Amino acid sequence: MVDRINYVTNVSFKCNNCGKCCRLRGDIVLYPMDIIRISNFLNISCKEFLKEYTITLEYSVILSQIVIKSKNDKFLTCIFLDEENMKCKIYEVRPIACSNFPFILLNENNYAVQMVPCVQDFNKGSKVIDLLMQNPYFLSEKKQRKEIDKLVSLVNEKYEDLDWYKKIIFKILYLGYNSKKNAVSQVKKRLILIKILLNI
């Protein structure tokens, strides 16, 4: 469990394969790009991936979210954790929420670092941004993540009472992708359509 959060620019961090970040972390919320990438890696359709490995959290006042399933254990272990070697089975294409761990982006220049065993020293070592940029998807999908966050926030604020409208936006944003096609280009098209629907 995370005891507290430090707001820092530099940190000494090294994964020690303890697997704690894959347990008791709460829900790993997926972006559409995560869904497409992971489906492609598993060589299955996006529809199969969503059915087999995720659940949809439905809310009354905000847009639904898609999250990775947990195993049925007391630790809420991620379904993709190989417990024999304590490694992620989809590490190369893991969700951005996982590749960013234990870092939380507050804005372009500020980061929070969760107090976990793999974080050794605060305000020493590498810049947090350099550690984040080790993931190839951190930059390549950054613009789309930012747009999605803005649109979701707008939908939640503007259409709080219109469940049917939120369901349409949810379907456009998350469902019906082709796992064999480029994730970013597919999502870009969906974002254009949503902006037209939202009249922005």
Map out the domains of the chain as residue ranges.
Answer: 17-98+127-198
Establish whether the linkage from the previous residue to 117 is cis, with ω within 30° of 0. no
Share of the chain above pLDDT 90, in %: 52
Angle between helices 32-42 and 46-53 (to 10 degrees): 100
Share of the chain above pLDDT 70, in %: 94
pLDDT band of residue 72 (cuts 50, 70, 90) is confident
Q: What is the pTM of this model?
A: 0.89
Helices assigned H by DSSP within 43-127: 46-53, 96-100
Give the helix/strand (H/E) hosting 68: strand 65-68
* pLDDT tens by residue, 10-65: 888 777 778 888 987 778 999 999 999 999 999 999 999 999 999 999 987 889 99
* pLDDT tens by residue, 157-192: 988 888 889 999 999 999 999 999 999 999 999 999
pLDDT at 4 over 60: no
Residue (of 194, 182, 190, 168) closest to 37 by Cα position: 182
pLDDT of residue 1: 37
